[in-house]
Amino acid sequence: MEGIDVKVEICRKGTSKPVTNEPKAAARQPKPQKLKPPTDRPDVGVVMVKPKKEHDYAEALKSLKANVQVGGDGVELEKISITKSGETRIQVRETREGGRKNFAEKLSQKAEALQAEVKAVSAQVPIAIRGIDDTVDKDEVEEALVKAGVPKEEVENKVNLGEVQAGRAGTRTAVMRVSPSRAFMLLQLQELRVGWSGCRCRITQFEQPQCCFNCQKFGHLAHECKEGKAEGRRCYRCGKEDHIAKDCEASPSCYVCGKNGHRADSRSCPAQREQAAKAQGEGYGRHGGCEAKEAAEAPRQQRCRDAHLLLDNTLVLSDYDIALISEPNRAAVQQASWEVDLEGDAAIWMSRRLQGMAVSRGRGSGYVWVDIGVAVVYSCYVSPNTTDEQFIGFVDSLEESARAWSPRRLLVVTGDFNSAAVEWGSSTTNRRGELILEMTSRLDLLVANDGIVPTFQRREQRSYLDLTLYSGNVNGGIEGWRVLEEETGSDHRYLEFQIRGEREPYLKRVSKGHRRKRRSRYTLRSAAQPDEIREALESYKAAKKMMRRLIQQSRERCWKELCEEVERDAFGKPYKIVMKKIGAATPRLHASLVDRIIERLFPARPAQQWRFGEDEDFNFDEVTAEEVLTAAEKISIGKAPGVDGVPPEVTKMFMKLRPADFAAMTNQLLREGRFPSEWKVARLVLLPKPGKPRDDPSSYRPLCLLDTEGKAVETLLAGRLTTELEQRSAIADTQFGFRAGRSTIDAIQEVVRAAEEERSAEKTWRTRKLCLVILVDVRNAFNSMPWEVVMEALRSAEISPYLRRVIGSYLEDRWIVTTEGARHRMTAGVPQGSILGPTLWNVAYDGVLRLDLPEGASTVAYADDLAIIVKARTEDELVSKANGAMEAVANWMDSKHLALAPEKTEAILLIGRRRCGPLEGLNLRGHAVEPRREVKYLGVWLDRGLTFAPHIQHALTKAKKSVKALSRILPRTRGAGEGRRRLLATVATSIATYGAPVWEKALRKERNVRRLASVQRQMALRICRAYRTAGLSAVLALSRQVPWHLVVTERKLRHEDRREPDPERRRTKKQRWEETLSKWQEEWTEDTGESEWTKKLVPDLREWQTRRHGQTSYHLTQALTGHGCFQEYLYRFRKTDSPECLLCLSGSVDGVRHTLMECEFFDREREEFRDALDWGFKLEGMVEKMLEGSEEWNAVDDYVSRVIGTKEALERVRKRATEESEREEMAPAQGDGVAPEPGWREGSTGGMTTPDRDEAGDVTLNTQRSANMDR
């Protein structure tokens, strides 16, 4: 790791940035941002009206509103107020270019009678263009801005070009004020080319408020001071007027607060701090004394999602390798590339390249660390609200963790410690700063902060809260430490530095005198004008608000595109995002950690030589082309290839095109008893288990990827081996794993059946036995099975010699290859990811299912999941038998070199309501086994009484989460069609109905049926796009979702049919489906709930369910349910004052029938629809007509959408007009002279109610206030 540079950026408060293992000079240039400058975004501006003196504010406003009609000018009114000088301040937002100017001119014409002065003022943001060389003049800067997209009239004579700055390599800075949209555009530029220089645009810093040198108070200058002017300047040290501070030898005494110990201009003066806070509009508290409204927003701002979005964009465009963050957004740091402390207050992000270098990781309360090889980096955070005792505890814990590395390793400790010390730039040192300094002294850490540029800034408040500490007693260190000026979306600023590998330090000691001198320019510099500060602050807030708005709009636009993509690919990217099946790439692991994982997961065993008798017959029936074709059909496509990279599609195609050649090759291998060594090399992929520590080898699940050609040959071998095993009954009937025709359902039913035998009516209370089920866990089962055990089991099962010989070759000389290319030999275990492995496991594991257990004990297995069932009359007898059975199983495992996990062993008493005493002494190898109330076995929760209520609860909780996630990509008014929605609904159905044959009897309780219906209803609403108030039966029928309780019953019956030996009693899948439809139709007919209207339109569910055309839409569902934009519906839920129609004013109740068949307002649409279909429209026959064909369906859907869509638009306009009318009634002084909104005429139902039609019959609406409804 020597000589490696790591580029680091420290991000604070909800933002983060990264580290690079390359020198900064060698870093590649970031790609240009693709974000398009929002030049068409509306700007917020102000129109100022100053009337003559005799007109007051109310009179002036009343006169303007009576004579000026707002609308069509390209502006929207936002707020009206009066200034201290008596001017009327009208805040507007432009909806098109030049709207504010046009509005001001219109006001000027109408304000002549008032002799008022009208002027348009736009919000301005101060922008600094930095890095301009000394040869550039103002004209060149203006030309560069025009080329960048700023209009020429906004640039001319507005650029202030500063003097040459010696500290910036002879460069200059140009400052100008632009609108927020222009500011956002300039801030997005990677660079602004001015002459030969590539310059950057940044928002300028804000100056301190005005400060009076006479009284040391803020908000005014000395000539405006009312404290009584001194004849000469006061001494800041003692307060006298006959000398100045530099000549004073007296002890400090402040004349502002009257206390000794500090000067009058000292920042430690409490009175001055209070005055400065008031002048800046601040208060007190943790958030820097911001106003009450902002104080509530400040914590959210620190951990806000937008700050992380800015960071993510920076990570893509930059070449950092690690980001050290304080107070991150907790939802944004859940991916695998993040390391987070125990409290979620500190985080570390690593690039994929650096993840491979990370040797180990750790975390504590308030800090997290990662060993990246070249250094051990810490990210920390401690809240300012912690007590002194808590802060001391944090420091002690951090020091204890860091001392494990010091002084051997290079330590880099960063974080927001919320402490002050002169050593890193603060004006004073507080108790917390002293504690940090003491810790750095004990650990030999140096402070990297230069104390010049503040790391925190909120308004005029600046501080140095964020620290960077590093080891000073080892070779190596950090370089290039600096505070970046980029926008972070937070009050804290980015810190950037590079970690240098071992080398000789270039400085032993550094004087801090020059730092204090340069820092004085920040602490004692001249105060600026308060008006400029406020204006700059408002402009900055406007630009920041616009940035967040644009971020939100971009997110909404991208999400809308994702929703539309569902129609093209139902299980594609949108599905993976909401179901959290896509995210950051699996982190690369350090080579040493990979070695430890392999050592743990793949234990070493002595090499074995397989011997066969000389008299054994190795003859066999040759593989035929038919066998090859059958095996080819079993090859799954779309799977990851092995080491050779040949996809399974290629192998499958070859087997189908050349089956005879493939059979000849396989026969040759069988004759030689050889399995090619190239096919015994697997590519190892380690999948991290969620929620497990990443430095623990047991936290990874191995996946071995083999070559597809070898797996094809394995398929042929597995088929022949399975045939012989079944013929010889070599596999116990209680093994349900990896066997055709058997599943987890059968294994669970076997366990449940054993318990229910003791609860049957045939047995009395006295003859019933206690039933105990013990679930045993085997450590690393598949990878630990010795090969000699497998070969011995094959020999005992009398498998043909030719198969045993080729399987012996299959198990010899196996290797795994890591992603780094390292090879590791395998000496045990059945290969995971192989075709032959599961069958070999069943053969080797069969012995545990044939053990001689105590009477009343038996075993059931699914692969390596072993369940021990014990029955006994008394508690003592039950414990004795259970301990004997567990000991027998443990001894068998020991003899096969397998290990049990006693701490993971679970047990449950399946005895119903029967009382049972404590099972004292129940243990496995000294580990007590305590029976639980419920356990999870093969995905189904078993409870003591086998009611399966806990399973239904767990399953529905999981299904509800999936429904909630899928609802995000299935919006009601747009997105995918019904077909894709029904396809995605199968995800929730599969989750909710898993194990249905086992727990179907739980549906005898109506409560469980209602639970199922409650979750299914949420999915059905998304399929048919219905209002949430629609009835359950209606939404299930319209979405064609069979009720889950009927699905569960059908699946149980189909499962029994597969086990039914009598063909006459067995039913086909189609017959069971017909029975389910009949039951559903009966329930639909008998339903008397809120679905009566839907039942009238869709009386026959069979025709509706089995149709081959047509999809329900948002508006069509409203017509079919009666829940939608109808006054009758709105009145029912108290959203309107009357159920009568507001369009035709006929006094009729506005329901579905009236809207589609009777309302005169839609006569034209109705006639066009009847002419198109040549059909006399009848509502009761509408669905019947739709089911005739796709043309009829589309015609009805189009008509309904046009009518109800128009009603919705008109209802939105009516609602907006009503709300404005109510606001005007609340403020009568501002409501005089306001004309009715165009597009509505006076009606009898509360004012503005009815829209107009033009001569062509089109609906006329105000296009400035609503969507254009021209059809």
**Looking at per-residue confidence, does 353 or 883 come out higher?**
883
- Whether the pLDDT of residue 967 is over 90: the answer is yes
**What structural domains does the chain harbor?**
5-28+319-523 (3.60.10.10), 44-122 (3.30.70.60), 625-942 (no CATH), 949-1113 (no CATH)
Q: According to the model, what pLDDT value does residue 583 have?
A: 62
Q: According to the model, what pLDDT value does residue 1074 have?
A: 94
Residues 129, 133, 134, 139, Cα dihedral to 10°: -60
**Looking at per-residue confidence, does 134 or 396 come out higher?**
396
Q: According to the model, what pLDDT value does residue 233 have?
A: 65
The rounded mean pLDDT for the chain is 80
Segment 121-140 shows an average pLDDT of 77
- Whether the pLDDT of residue 778 is over 90: the answer is yes
Q: 433-437, 917-921, 1203-1207 — which is least confidently predicted?
A: 917-921
Amino acid type, 806: V
Confidence band for 301, pLDDT divided at 50, 70 and 90: very low
Segment 909-930 shows an average pLDDT of 87
Q: According to the model, what pLDDT value does residue 198 have?
A: 81
Segment 626-643 shows an average pLDDT of 90
Share of the chain above pLDDT 70, in %: 77
**pLDDT tens string 272-297:** 666 655 544 433 333 333 332 222 22
Confidence band for 1229, pLDDT divided at 50, 70 and 90: very low
Q: 228-232, 682-686, 831-835 — which is least confidently predicted?
A: 228-232
The residue ranges of DSSP E strands in 54-116, in sequence order, are 75-82, 88-94
Q: 497-506, 742-751, 977-986, 1232-1241 — which is least confidently predicted?
A: 1232-1241
Confidence band for 338, pLDDT divided at 50, 70 and 90: confident
Residue 995, sorted as left (phi over 0), alpha (psi -120 to 50) or beta, turns out to be left
Q: According to the model, what pLDDT value does residue 1043 have?
A: 96
DSSP characters over 592-612 = HHHHHHHHHHS----------
Residue 97, SS3? coil
State the angle between helix axes of 787-796 and 837-845 in degrees (0 to 180), rounded to the nearest 10: 70
**Looking at per-residue confidence, does 1224 or 578 come out higher?**
578
Q: According to the model, what pLDDT value does residue 1052 have?
A: 95
Q: According to the model, what pLDDT value does residue 708 have?
A: 92
Taking alpha carbons only, the member of 975, 981, 1047, 1045 closest to residue 1018 is: 981
- Euclidean distance between CA atoms 1226 and 934, whole angstroms: 61
**Looking at per-residue confidence, does 1012 or 521 come out higher?**
1012
Alpha helices (H) in 499-568, listed in sequence order: 513-523, 530-565
**pLDDT tens string 1136-1193:** 889 999 898 888 999 999 999 999 999 999 888 888 887 777 888 899 999 999 999 9
Q: According to the model, what pLDDT value does residue 424 have?
A: 86
**Looking at per-residue confidence, does 516 or 879 come out higher?**
879
Segment 1015-1041 shows an average pLDDT of 95
- Whether the pLDDT of residue 1250 is over 80: the answer is no
First-last CA distance in the chain: 70
- Euclidean distance between CA atoms 176 and 577, whole angstroms: 43
Amino acid type, 191: E
**pLDDT tens string 800-852:** 999 999 999 999 989 999 888 889 999 998 888 899 999 999 999 999 999 99
Confidence band for 306, pLDDT divided at 50, 70 and 90: low
Q: 28-32, 253-257, 352-356, 1002-1006 — which is least confidently predicted?
A: 28-32
- Euclidean distance between CA atoms 319 and 143, whole angstroms: 32
- The residue written with tokens 């195609």 in the block is 653
Find how far residue 68's CA is from the centre of its chain: 49
Share of the chain above pLDDT 90, in %: 39
- The residue written with tokens 């064609």 in the block is 1040
Cα–Cα distances (Å) from 1025 to 571, 1014, 1091, in that order, read 20, 17, 16
Name beta bridge partners: 871. 771
Q: According to the model, what pLDDT value does residue 211 have?
A: 64
Q: According to the model, what pLDDT value does residue 394 have?
A: 93
Alpha helices (H) in 116-252, listed in sequence order: 138-147, 180-188
Segment 1109-1130 shows an average pLDDT of 93
Residue 1108, classified by CB atoms within 10 Å of its CB into exposed (0-12), middle (13-18) or buried (19+), is exposed
Confidence band for 104, pLDDT divided at 50, 70 and 90: confident
Segment 1111-1122 shows an average pLDDT of 94
